[in-house]
Amino acid sequence: MKQSQLFTKTRREAPADETAKNAQLLARAGYIHKEMAGVYSYLPLGLRVIKKIEDIIREEMNAIGGIEMKTSIFQNKEVWEKSNRWDDGVVEIWFKTKLKNGGEVGLSFTNEEAYSNILKQYVNSYKDLPVFPYDFKEIFRNEARSKSGVIRGREFYWKALYSFAKDETEHNAFYEKAKVAYQNIFKRAGIGDLTYLTFASGGTFSKFSHEFQTLAEAGEDTIYVDEKKSVAVNKEVYNDEVIESLGLKKNDLVEKTAIEVGNIFTLGTKFSEPFDLKYKNEKGEDKLVFMGSYGIGLGRLMGTIIEVMSDDKGIIWPEAVAPFKFHIIEIPSEKPEVKKMAEKIYKKIGESNTLYDDRDLRAGEKFADADLLGMPYQIIVSEKNADFGKLELKNRKTGKTEMISEDEIGKFL
Amino acid sequence: MKQSQLFTKTRREAPADETAKNAQLLARAGYIHKEMAGVYSYLPLGLRVIKKIEDIIREEMNAIGGIEMKTSIFQNKEVWEKSNRWDDGVVEIWFKTKLKNGGEVGLSFTNEEAYSNILKQYVNSYKDLPVFPYDFKEIFRNEARSKSGVIRGREFYWKALYSFAKDETEHNAFYEKAKVAYQNIFKRAGIGDLTYLTFASGGTFSKFSHEFQTLAEAGEDTIYVDEKKSVAVNKEVYNDEVIESLGLKKNDLVEKTAIEVGNIFTLGTKFSEPFDLKYKNEKGEDKLVFMGSYGIGLGRLMGTIIEVMSDDKGIIWPEAVAPFKFHIIEIPSEKPEVKKMAEKIYKKIGESNTLYDDRDLRAGEKFADADLLGMPYQIIVSEKNADFGKLELKNRKTGKTEMISEDEIGKFL
């Protein structure tokens, strides 16, 4: 798209009330608008990043048999009373509101109850299982403090998948596939090298849950990393017995701070019991469904990428999640050849792949904006370049530039 | 997709508490799940319809210069106090909730304030205008009664675009384009013939607003239609003076009930004034931005399609919004050729275009399900058809069947 068509603008200074690097950079670059602490609107460039992340997650969930639906934000009191999670004394982070004709409703803070209640309508026989529904939706959590930018919101955009299996064996088979799918997501989003499968506290039905933790100074979690084995242990379960049971050695583990970018969890029959979610097996016996949960916050992933992939000039997007792969910087000139060349390249690369800075601004301002916005490749079209029939291609991450011909652009598409 | 992979099932009877035809059919067919009055979850097939409608709307909005963003559901009290719409005495349909650390937040019931507040950050000069941002989001309205299924929800999924122009002339040019875009949307969604551009009450800045009204028995609105001129007048402004001013004649107007599927509205400076949303013109003078609003409910459009496009057997989806264009019905047989042929056709048409009923059920049940689910084309693969190397293609709308060869399917893709 042409930058002159984009209504957002960059700012030199971050808003005074933003302390998190991710929110400072996103606000300066015009990707987000802060509505209140922990609540952000995604402006056009920010939404493009969210959509790219959403597409990656959707592909990986569909590849392991996920089936997408769209559950409501409003939650029914009667449904949540079944699992004893309606009470504010049990769940502190509820947001609730009142219906005009009486009665309270909750705003979803998670999806186990809504999903169990829906599946209860449809699961009768072993033939109906397994099933792996998921959705993308807004989630609301009444956090007392919210200072981590888009990493910890009061309102945030989330993918949750729940697995409904006949038994633990069938569950485990899916759980292992989900682990791989999650690792694929973080690899594709550009933070695979920094993200560790991490053993964390489990529950009644499994000794551990699994978190995906990305090493970052801004992290709120402490983990112990075995780099060679590419696994980590969350501080909450870090003790000699656990280390040994995982076949790890204390000397190989290094303490790090990290951001939890996803987690997967064996729920067992914790929710199928209160919802009486049963199926008839091949012998006609009633059996409880065995469940698992698989969550990931899209804004949190976006914020984490920025925490680990930026420099003092701005954001450095990995290709797969960048709003645009290319940023064409036309250096204003009186020679019509410059604009002509820029327009030609823009047409060649395509408007969905490139942001084209066609604005009438000084070169220095344009370079600063491009570095702040963080597209992976900058293509600089100046008088000098037009004269020589060459383009200057700058890699935002390495800072390296090379001169290429128009035809060579094809290599990068 | 294979129907055996779909966890939803059809039901013979609609839930007793659903009185609206749209909700009865959608619930019976397993497209939606009722969470409470006026609040529905969209199950996998229902979400597919919503996504197709979303894609149509997005294409039409982008074609007239729309730029998508994603604003928050939580609304800031201070922002709404500027326009005097925070007070429950002024706006009765607010849902509000409380932050743990004090203070109230609202759930969006519309977007004028949030948009004006965001644009205020970015609009300074005439060069920044016009701009046409929009988003798709959940909207919440505290309706006392909600009995119209997905047509009038307490929570519903909505597209809203706001236009920000330099003056009335620039506004009017966009407003006329938006009219055409809206007509395109309803045409593409299959209800163009039944949908009338309708003059309705305006405001300070324009004599009329424009509604798009679809003729339907279940409609809550009364309109007067001039079929030849393809326009209508809402009862709220229907009087001799208005009829004459529109160049219409009372004798040509026929009273009808209709569902409002969209509306567009000139806002003028109603919101730019309280938000002090101004730009500097070419002479350096401060001018107020001139606004318009363009809304459409996706669930409402889906429900309206069903109200006007169904029969006693079930739903009849228009092609462009059907979850799948084809429904392959394999009639269970001991001859392996039948399944083989069905699988081959499924592969040929592609899983994104077809629902393949591979379940081990009686033919009668499968036919009833297919009619209820409402895909535009049913392809029946039976022993007899497999023997003759022909397929039976049934048009769900006309009920007509024809025998075609495998190769002829290409014509319908």
A89: number of Cβ within 10 Å: 6
Which residue in A7, A68, A138 is closest to B44 by CB distance? A68
Residue B110 pLDDT:
97
User: Amino acid identity of A237?
Assistant: V
Could you give the dihedral angle defined by the CA atoms of residues A85, A88, A93 and A97, in that order, rounded to the nearest 10 degrees? 100
Quote the strand ranges of A204-334, DSSP E: 206-215, 221-226, 231-234, 254-268, 278-280, 286-288, 290-297, 310-311, 314-315, 326-330
Q: How does residue A204 score in pLDDT terms, banded at 50, 70 and 90?
A: confident
Q: Which of A1, A7, A75 has the highest number of chain B CBs within 10 A, making it the mutation to test binding with B?
A: A7
Residue A205 scores a pLDDT above 90: no
Pick among A3, A10, A69 to test the B interface (most B CBs inside 10 A): A69
Q: What is the pLDDT of residues B387-404, one digit of tens each?
A: 888 899 999 999 999 999
Q: How many residues does chain A have?
A: 413
CA distance A21 to A159: 24
A392-411: pLDDT as tens digits = 999 999 999 999 988 888 88
Q: Do B99 and A142 touch (CB under 8 A)?
A: yes
> What pLDDT is stored for residue B408 in this prediction?
87
Residue B74 buriedness (CB in 10 A; 0-12 / 13-18 / 19+): buried
Tell me whether residues A69 and B44 touch, CB distance under 8 A.
yes
Residue of chain A nearest B15, judged by CA positions: A121
Interface test with chain A among B13, B32, B36, by most A beta carbons within 10 Å: B36
pLDDT digits (tens, 9 = 90+) for B259-301: 999 999 999 999 999 999 999 999 999 999 999 999 999 999 9
ipTM of the complex model: 0.96
Closest chain B residue by Cα to residue A71: B41
Smallest Cβ–Cβ distance between B121 and the set A33, A67, A96 belongs to A33
What's the CA gap between B259 and B216, in Å, rounded?
Answer: 6
Nearest chain A CA: its distance from B123 CA (Å): 7
Say yes or no for a CB contact (<8 Å) between A114 and B44: no
Inter-chain residue contact A95 with B97, CB threshold 8 Å? yes
**What residue segments make up the domains of chain A, in order of their start?**
3-311, 324-412
pLDDT of residue B388: 83
The CATH code that applies to domain B324-412 is 3.40.50.800
**Could you give the CA distance from residue B133 to residue A7 in angstroms, rounded to a whole number?**
9
From the list B40, B93, B138, the residue facing A138 with the nearest CB is B138
pTM of the full structure? 0.97
For residue A129, the distance in angstroms to the closest alpha carbon of chain B comes to 8
At residue B257's C-alpha, the angle toward residues B251 and B258, to 5°, is 115
Contact B142 A70 (CB under 8 A): no
Contacts of A188 (CB under 8 A, 6+ apart): A56, A60, A320
A97–B97 C-beta distance less than 8 A: yes
Query: Mean pLDDT for chain A?
Result: 96
pLDDT band at residue A203 under the 50/70/90 scheme = confident
Q: Which of A35, A72, A101 lies at the smallest CB-CB distance from B35?
A: A72
pLDDT in tens, A180-202: 999 999 999 999 999 999 999 99
A374, amino acid identity: G
Q: What is the pLDDT of residue B409?
A: 85
Identify the closest residue of chain B to A98 by CA–CA distance.
B95
A-B Cβ pairs (cutoff 8 Å, strict): 150
Q: Kindly indicate the confidence band of residue A298, based on its pLDDT and cuts at 50, 70 and 90.
A: very high
For B278, which DSSP code?
E
Q: Taking CB atoms and an 8 Å cutoff, what residues of chain B touch A105? A: 36, 39
Residues of chain B with C-beta less than 8 angstroms from the C-beta of A114: 35, 41
* Cα–Cα distance for residue pair B112/B134, rounded to 1 Å: 11
CB contact under 8 A, B35 and A75: yes
Residue B254: predicted pLDDT: 97
Residue in B8, B92, B155 closest to A122 by CB: B8
pLDDT < 70 stretches in chain B? none
Burial-class residue A199 by CB neighbours within 10 Å (0-12, 13-18, 19+).
Answer: buried
From chain A, pick out residues whose CB is under 8 angstroms from the CB of B133: 7, 44
Compute the nearest-CA separation of A411 from chain B (Å): 29
CATH code for the domain defined by A3-311: 3.30.930.10
Cβ contact (<8 Å) for B70 and A7? no
Q: Which residue of A has its CA nearest to B70?
A: A42
Distance CA(B236)–CA(B231), nearest Å, equals: 15
Residue contact A73–B138, C-beta within 8 A: yes
Our CA-based measurement puts residue A20 at a distance from the nearest CA of chain B, in whole angstroms, of 19
- Contact yes or no for A69 and B76 at CB 8 A: no
Interface-testing mutation among B3, B4, B32, B35, with chain A (most A C-beta atoms within 10 A):
B35
The residue among B179, B370, B397, B216 whose CA lies nearest residue B305 is B216
Residue of B nearest to A134 (CA): B44
Alpha carbon of A141: minimum distance to chain B alpha carbons (Å)? 10
According to CATH, the topology of domain B8-311 is BirA Bifunctional Protein; domain 2 (3.30.930)
**Res. A297 pLDDT band, cuts 50 70 90:** very high
Question: Which H or E run contains B88?
Answer: none
Place of tokens 């919004």: B321
- Under the banding of pLDDT at 50, 70 and 90, the label for residue A32 is very high
Q: Cβ–Cβ of B47/A70 closer than 8 Å? A: yes
Asked whether the predicted pLDDT for residue A387 surpasses 90, the reply is no
Hey, how many other C-beta atoms are within 10 angstroms of the C-beta on B39?
21
What residues form DSSP beta bridges with A314?
Answer: A311
Alpha-carbon distances, residue A395 vs A202, A316, A327 (angstroms): 43, 10, 11
Exposure pattern of A22-37 as b/e (b: 16+ CB <10 Å)?
bbbbbbbbbbbbbbbb
Q: Considering CB atoms only, which of A35, A72, A119 is closest to B40?
A: A72
Residue A101 has pLDDT above 90, yes or no: no
Residue A147 has what pLDDT?
A: 86
The alpha-carbon gap from A32 to the nearest alpha carbon of chain B, in Å, equals 9
Give chain A positions within 8 Å (CB) of B100. 92-93, 142-144
DSSP B130-185: -BEEEEEEEEE---S---SGGGS-SEEEEEEEEEEESSHHHHHHHHHHHHHHHHHH
Angstroms from B26 CA to nearest CA on chain A: 14
